[in-house]
Structure 1
Amino acid sequence: MRILLVNVNTTDSVTRVLAEQARSVAAPGTEIVPLTPFFGPESVEGNFESYLSAVAVMDRVAAYDRPYDAVIQAGFGEHGREGLQEICDTPVVDITEAAAHLACLVGRRYSVVTSLDRTVPLIQDRLTLARLDGRCASVRASGLGVLDVERDRAAAVEAIAGQARAAVEEDGAEVICLGCAGMAGLDTAVRAATGAPVVDGVTAAVPLAESLVGLGLTTSRTRAYATPRPKAVTGWPPHRSAALPLP
């Protein structure tokens, strides 16, 4: 089984962390293929970057020229999962929904601890769209940028664990979801600090993708995620060497 694990940002070191975490839980015989987009932001922390990333992720998957069995979109609260489902003939698993679904299986209510406060509304909107918000006690920001988590893992654990404890003690959460792909691998330390189950989205997504493949299930084509209609699309795929200036 071959699973494409697509980072939503262009930072290769983050892609390597995601791949290491995914491989740590993958079943024997499952190959994890990490992909970094050809273009896009170095980190995704807002709507502009998230929409840009969605196009970059679809472009990167479309450019992969070997067979694969499933795709994992490794960005918490990001856009683009629906587009991937339309263009891929295989199951597509988004780490946001994977983490929330698993959290609902082990506790009555869960909280998400993410990076910056500006990303909180994006995550809330994605959970609402997926109809997973009803059991979400809170979405809390650690105050760390995505790349800050990678640069200083010890400081990241301290900040995330502090918000996780507050979610348990003040918000009534029984399970914590790590709300940033760059937090992959921090679940054990945060669990030790809070005493509550902690779900990392990458860790959650891998066995879910394996299960869907094993059961022969993939995205329905009957309505919402039907294959795109044949038509001319100007400028697709994007020019991969072009610099994309920020506003």
Structure 2
Amino acid sequence: MKILVVNVNTTQSMTELIGNAARKVANRDTEIVALTPRFGAESIEGNYESYIAAVAVMDCVRHYPGSFDAIIQAGYGEHGREGLQELFDVPVVDITEAAAATALFLGHQYSVVTTLDRAVPLIENRLLLSGLDRKCASVRSTGLAVLELESDPEGAMTSIVREAQRAVADDHAEVICLGCGGMAELDRRVQEATGVPVVDGVTAAVKIAESLVHLGLKTSKIRTYAPPRKKHITLGGVG
């Protein structure tokens, strides 16, 4: 089985972090291919960059030279998953939805701890669109820029733990979801600090994707995610 794990930004070190996290939980017979888009922003922190990332991720997968069995979109609260589902019939798993769906098996309510406050509405909208918002106690911002997760990891960890603890104490969250692909591999430390289950969207997405492939399930093409109608599309040299 081969799973493409696509970073939504162009920071190669973050792609490597996400890929390493995915490989740690993947089955032995699963090949994880971590991909970086060939254009876009170095970090995604708003709607403008997110829409660019959506096109960049679709472009990245369309130009992948080999076959694959599933796709993971490794951006939290980002646009584009539906477009991937139109383009491909393999399972497409978004880490936002993977984390939230997994959290529902572990507690009554979950909270998301993310980066900048401006990312909160994007995540709330993604959860609403996917029908996972009802059990969301809160989406909390640490105030961190995405790239601070790499430049100041200990300071970032302190901020993430602080907001996770507040989510448990003040919002009655019973599960914490880490709301950024760059937070992959931080779940254990946050879990130790809060005493509740902590879900990383990247690793959750890997296990969900593997399960769908093993079950022989693919994206339905009968209506919503039918292939795009054939027509001329101009993408300014991108497509």
- TM bin, normalised by shorter chain, reads over 0.9
Q: Is the 8 A contact 1:58 1:84 kept in 2?
A: yes
- The whole-number CA distance in structure 1 between the counterparts of 2:109 and 2:71 is 28
Tell me, yes or no, if structure 1 residue 77 matches structure 2 residue 65.
no
CA-atom RMSD in angstroms: 0.9
Check if 1:149 corresponds to 2:149: yes
C-alpha displacement of 1:88:
1.1
1:53 aligned residue:
53
Return the alpha-carbon distance in structure 2 between the equivalents of residues 94 and 225 of structure 1.
15
- Identical positions, percent: 62
Under a length normalisation based on structure 1, what TM-score does the superposition of the two structures give? 0.95
Deviation sequence 1:48-96 (CA, Å, 0-9, x none): 0000000000000000010100000000000000000000121100000
| CA distance in 1: counterparts of 2:186 and 2:176, whole angstroms | 12
Answer whether contact 1:59 1:237 (CA < 8 A) is retained.
no
Letter in 1 for 2:204: A
Tell me how far 1:131 sits from its aligned partner: 0.7
Q: Shift in Å at residue 235 of structure 1?
A: 2.9
- Where do 1:101-180 residues align within 5 Å? 101-180=101-180
Runs of 4+ in 1 over 3 A off after TM superposition: none
Inter-partner Cα distance in structure 1 for 2:9 and 2:95: 14
What SS does the corresponding residue of 2:113 show, helix, strand or coil?
strand
Residue number in structure 2 paired with 1:245: none
Alpha-carbon deviation of 1:236? Answer: 6.6
CA distance in 2, matches of 1:180, 1:5: 14
5+ long unaligned stretches in structure 1: 240-247
Pair 1:221–1:237, CA change in 2 (3 A): farther
Gapped regions of structure 2 (runs ≥ 5): none
Task: Provide the rounded CA distance (Å) in 2 between the counterparts of 1:27 and 1:38.
Answer: 28
Report the equivalent of 1:232.
232
Aligned amino acid, residue 124 of structure 1: E
Q: In 2, distance between residues paired with 1:136 and 1:106?
A: 13
Tell me the distance in 1 between the aligned counterparts of 2:11 and 2:145: 13
Cα deviations across residues 113-151 of structure 1 (Å, max 9, x unaligned)? 000000000000000000100000000001111100122
How much does 1:152 deviate? 1.9
Q: Residue in 2 aligned with 1:32?
A: 32
Distance 1:26 1:222 in 2: 31
Amino acid at match of 2:114: T
**Residue aligning to 1:243:** none
Opposite residue 169 of structure 2, the aligned amino acid is: E
TM-score by length of 2: 0.98
2: distance between equivalents of 1:226 and 1:91? 14
CA contact (8 A) 2:89 2:221 kept: no
Deviation string 1:1-43 (CA, Å, 9 cap, x unpaired) is: 0000000000000000000000000001100001000000000
Number of residue pairs matched by the alignment: 239
| Rounded Cα–Cα distance in structure 1 between residues aligned with 2:177 and 2:225 | 27
